[in-house]
Structure 1
């Protein structure tokens, strides 16, 4: 009898030790998961750009949580998010869907609740159209102020990875954090964007141009590539306002702002310099290339038919001046602001020469080299 009790006690002891080991492993596993989520939250909260945040969700999450697929939908009625995603690679863009209205999001989340488990084929075709091997998913509604602003989807080829029987409180918490971060990124970038955009034409404003020209001069010195600056002035634009009214004048400026952006590369910068003047930076463009770009713009604007508010058709021409900065590889230390001012001044002088010669033409002026005694103020006022 005593032997039986002893064996039973030893068996219970072994079972208890095994249970303790399993519990310790579960605790260690849970601590690892919590630490991973804590690290992820810190990275999410550190994001200021929507493109960086989406890269974190689509790529870092997939690797960190060993997922087979990740995709995200965003509610974007005003195409604000669309304008902020230029830096997203094509491979990531295929996993991002921007929705102009909330119909699809409401279909996915009629009760605004997280979903997990085996995936319906129709749902899989919507959230993972390029991955037919996803068998279980976690679908996280992204909600701010009781409004669906998006949807995040984790997919696994393991049918048991996500099940309806398990509570995913940590995913619900993560969903809330991601929603806040998306809203913060969009607001932060949109505010930053509004501060550098001319609201009438959609081109950059003078402040953005002044900052960017110094950056491009610095980049030109580093890469030893030329930088061309182009000035555009609408000929007799005052007559348009006097004849057809300021509303028509604004319409012309908007049209030309869009036309300029359509004609140029993404690496070029178009800015409304002031009034009816536009300025363009052409990185990597030498004199001959800049002349070709300028002439193409002159012809496009001259052949465009504009209409007044009442519908009266008319045309307008432009005068263009340009200059090209050629980095001097023999000089080590430079004053980029001074050189930017010289490039700007040379382009402006070329523009005035084009206007003096009769308008509707382009002129070139070589970019001067800064003298040791010259100042930015002198260059602008002379």
Structure 2
């Protein structure tokens, strides 16, 4: 080989190396862009949307799936509370790591290549034939917490002899973000949820009331509010003990939640008193909802102290505000007045014999500059 031929060979080698460097730089930038998006996620919904929806387009994949290890069901419960149920089979929750043992039999390292039909059916259910795939273990503190999977319809996309540096780094970022988002959601829920009954607390209700009042006025839609108070609750505590009283509150909160629409908001307001906010719900519909709650609780028989049963009842006070009839007004006054109206008729139900529903329409009187007024009251009692 003469000098000219050697020079051309070296030039070709340099061009090839430069092209590979450019490709690697482009790939690196592509991964970095996605990783920055991951690190910017502030909630679990944003993170899951990015991983399970946007990643498919960003990396030009045929399918993406995620497995999360949830041995104590706490993540599933959290996702139910956050209404994160719309990802289908691409998001799987597993009690243990056995499901992933075939993917990572020895070490928790990225695996590339083709996948047998059975494994592909479990990892990418409903995705069709998987030509090549990348399986990335999600590890935190040397513990496998999940697995992220990319599928491609190209045999050249993920080959066993390819470098896995970018994918390994991506898996580390995903593991960290998943842990952070789940932890943040748990902390957020603790600040908004009543620890005994696991429904919303008074603080979260007050924030929701403000939002719903604004929405009702903006859309000119009725807003109903009801207080649900346990009858003779002190007698339950005195006769069976406070643990039995706590159990009654837990069962009652759960039963009330079963009767509500998806858009309704339930909170423990204090002691044995619960409050329900029903947006876009006229008085007649709200009365039917309140009666359904009262009747469902009347049928309950809660086991306490072994063979003893408590059969609780509730008194329900309901008030409905119709902004269409009043135009724009001071929403802070409306909020205070609506709660006061519901509370007033709840105590009327107590004085009228308990285990009943009373309702009335609430209006902010034009003359009320610093207080609210009631007018147009109507009542409905259920024995």
TM-score normalised by length of structure 2: 0.90
1:366 corresponds, among 343, 361, 369, to 361
Residue 270 of structure 1 and its aligned partner are, at CA, apart by 0.8
1:157 matched to 2:149: no
CA contact (8 A) 2:90 2:125 kept: no
1:185 matched to 2:181: yes
CA contact (8 A) 1:229 1:280 kept: yes
Q: Partner of 1:215 in structure 2? A: 211
Deviations 1:40-68 (A, max 9, x none): 11110111211210110111111011111
User: Equivalences for 1:191-206 in 2 at 5 Å?
Assistant: 191-206=187-202
Q: Distance in 1 between matches of 2:280 and 2:72?
A: 34
2:69 corresponds, among 61, 65, 75, to 75
Larger deviation, residues 108-117 vs 196-205: 108-117
Q: Partner of 1:104 in structure 2? A: 99
SS at structure 2 position matched to 1:366? strand
Q: Partner of 2:248 in structure 1? A: 252
Residue 21 of structure 1 and its aligned partner are, at CA, apart by 4.2
Residue 353 of structure 1 and its aligned partner are, at CA, apart by 1.1
User: Equivalences for 1:275-290 in 2 at 5 Å?
Assistant: 275-290=271-286
Compute the RMSD of aligned alpha carbons. 2.2
1:47 matched to 2:33: no
Deviations 1:312-360 (A, max 9, x none): 123121110011121247744x433322111111111110111121111
1:322 corresponds, among 318, 323, 341, to 318
5+ residue gaps, structure 1, are none
Residue 217 of structure 1 and its aligned partner are, at CA, apart by 0.7
Aligned length: 370
Residue 80 of structure 1 and its aligned partner are, at CA, apart by 3.0
SS at structure 1 position matched to 2:332? helix
SS at structure 2 position matched to 1:204? coil
Q: Distance in 2 between matches of 1:303 and 1:238?
A: 20
SS at structure 1 position matched to 2:145? strand
Deviations 1:213-248 (A, max 9, x none): 111111112222211111011111111111111111
Distance 1:226 1:78, change over 3 A: farther
1:306 matched to 2:310: no
Q: Distance in 1 between matches of 2:127 and 2:180?
A: 31
Q: Partner of 1:167 in structure 2? A: 163
Deviations 1:106-150 (A, max 9, x none): 443232121111112221121012123112111000000111110
User: Equivalences for 1:6-17 in 2 at 5 Å?
Assistant: 9=4, 15-17=9-11
Q: Partner of 1:93 in structure 2? A: 88
Q: Distance in 1 between matches of 2:141 and 2:275?
A: 42
1:335 corresponds, among 330, 338, 362, to 330
Q: Distance in 2 between matches of 1:296 and 1:205?
A: 23
